[in-house]
């Protein structure tokens, strides 16, 4: 990844995008590595405006393609004013347009714009914590895992792949992520259904399967659950509800709504996905009823 960054710095493509005047051509360099230090598999994405010189894009792409470990170089174009490194894929300049890798026993393919944790070892730790929190009450395989805000499907597929659930029902706002989740499900032999749309809009009409064998996992963005989704989930019957929070403050707010509907937060794990920062991931297990809280067996790595 550092070699890619140095090579682009040496070439110094210009003019750079000016976020104040909204002029220029070269906006972002996105570098993702699905390999290891010994066997890198780097996908580099050049994000530009439509004002870019296509010849210069070709020159930069060819220079990056010469570097060892670079499996793909892409050109993405956007004229949006927001400073987000995403847009329309214009060209595949070299190699493959996807990252292929294995994590936690899953075979995954991710397009350039798919979300995934940048810390792969941390992602495995997070999955272990979610698996501990999502266990069905009886300890047997559950019938249905309802995976809300599922992204490319990592958590739901990871739990189903290890035999914890017979099928997955996934919901995600972005259609591209849902298509990726479907492809990854097929790669890993996981049965289920995936729906694109806002969680709060899709939930009321979603077939959630039998309540006794159902576990709900929510992994919302930093803002937390949409208020409509929180109110709906407060009334949902399930063996357990697992809340994965990248912002513990959002979890604290939504906890009040869920507990007003009869849920109670029985257990809590924290995972440090971003060492040396103030950020921490929290995984909470909610159950219904007034009886004693069952003892947990937290994963040693979490």
List, in order of start, the domains of the chain with CATH numbers.
2-96 (2.40.50.1070), 115-288 (3.40.50.150)
Q: What are the two backbone dihedrals, phi and then psi, of residue 203, each rounded to the nearest 5 degrees? A: -55, -50
Question: How far apart, in whole angstroms, are the C-alpha atoms of residue 270 and residue 7?
Answer: 38
Asked, as a colleague might, if the bond just before 90 is cis with ω within 30 of 0, I would say no
What global pTM score does this model have? 0.86
Question: How far apart, in whole angstroms, are the C-alpha atoms of residue 222 and residue 274?
Answer: 15
Question: Could you tell me whether strands 142-148 and 214-218 are parallel, antiparallel, or unpaired per DSSP bridges?
Answer: parallel
Q: At what angle do helices 120-133 and 154-161 cross, to 10 degrees?
A: 60
Fill in the DSSP letter of residue 158. Answer: H
In what helix (H) or strand (E) does residue 100 lie, and over which residues does it extend? Answer: strand 98-103
Question: What's residue 302's pLDDT?
Answer: 43
Residues 6 or more apart in contact with residue 225 via CB below 8 angstroms: 199, 218, 233, 250, 254, 257
Question: How far apart, in whole angstroms, are the C-alpha atoms of residue 38 and residue 140?
Answer: 40
Question: What's residue 188's pLDDT?
Answer: 95
Q: Which residues pair with 28 in a beta bridge?
A: 47
Residue 11 vs residues 64, 73, 264: alpha-carbon distances, Å: 10, 16, 57
Tokens of 268: 């809590």
Catalytic residues: 246
Question: What's residue 115's pLDDT?
Answer: 84
Question: How far apart, in whole angstroms, are the C-alpha atoms of residue 118 and residue 101?
Answer: 13
Do the Cβ atoms of 175 and 150 come closer than 8 Å? no
- Mean pLDDT by runs of 10 across the 302 residues of the chain is 96 96 96 89 96 97 97 96 90 94 91 85 93 73 89 94 90 94 95 95 88 92 96 95 96 97 96 90 90 48 44
């Amino acid at each position: 990844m550092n070699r890619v960054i140095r090579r682009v710095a040496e070439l110094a493509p210009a003019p750079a995008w000016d976020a104040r005047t909204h002029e220029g051509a070269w906006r972002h360099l996105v570098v993702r590595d699905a390999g290891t230090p010994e066997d890198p598999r780097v996908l580099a994405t050049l994000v530009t405006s439509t004002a870019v010189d296509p010849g210069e894009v070709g020159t930069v792409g060819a220079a990056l393609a010469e570097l060892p470990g670079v499996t793909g170089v892409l050109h993405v174009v956007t004229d949006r004013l927001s400073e987000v490194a995403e847009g329309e894929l214009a060209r595949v300049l070299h190699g493959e347009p996807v990252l292929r890798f294995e994590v936690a026993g899953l075979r995954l393919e991710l397009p350039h714009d798919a979300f995934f944790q940048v810390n792969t070892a941390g992602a495995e730790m997070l999955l272990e914590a979610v698996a501990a929190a999502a266990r069905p009450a009886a300890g047997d395989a559950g019938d249905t895992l309802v995976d809300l805000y599922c992204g490319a499907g990592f958590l739901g597929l990871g739990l189903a792949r290890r035999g914890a659930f017979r099928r997955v029902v996934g919901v995600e706002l972005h259609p591209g992520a849902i298509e990726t989740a479907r492809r990854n499900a097929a790669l890993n032999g996981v049965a289920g259904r995936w729906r694109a749309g806002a969680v709060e809009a899709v939930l009321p009409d979603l077939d959630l399967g039998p309540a006794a064998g159902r576990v709900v996992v929510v992994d919302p963005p930093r803002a937390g659950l949409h208020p409509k989704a929180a109110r709906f989930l407060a009334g949902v019957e399930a063996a357990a509800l697992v809340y994965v929070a990248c912002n513990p403050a959002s979890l604290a707010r939504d906890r009040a709504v869920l507990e007003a509907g009869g849920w109670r937060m029985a257990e809590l794990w924290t995972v440090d996905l971003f060492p040396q920062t103030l950020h921490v991931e929290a995984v909470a297990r909610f159950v219904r009823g007034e009886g004693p809280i069952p003892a947990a067996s937290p994963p040693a790595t979490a």
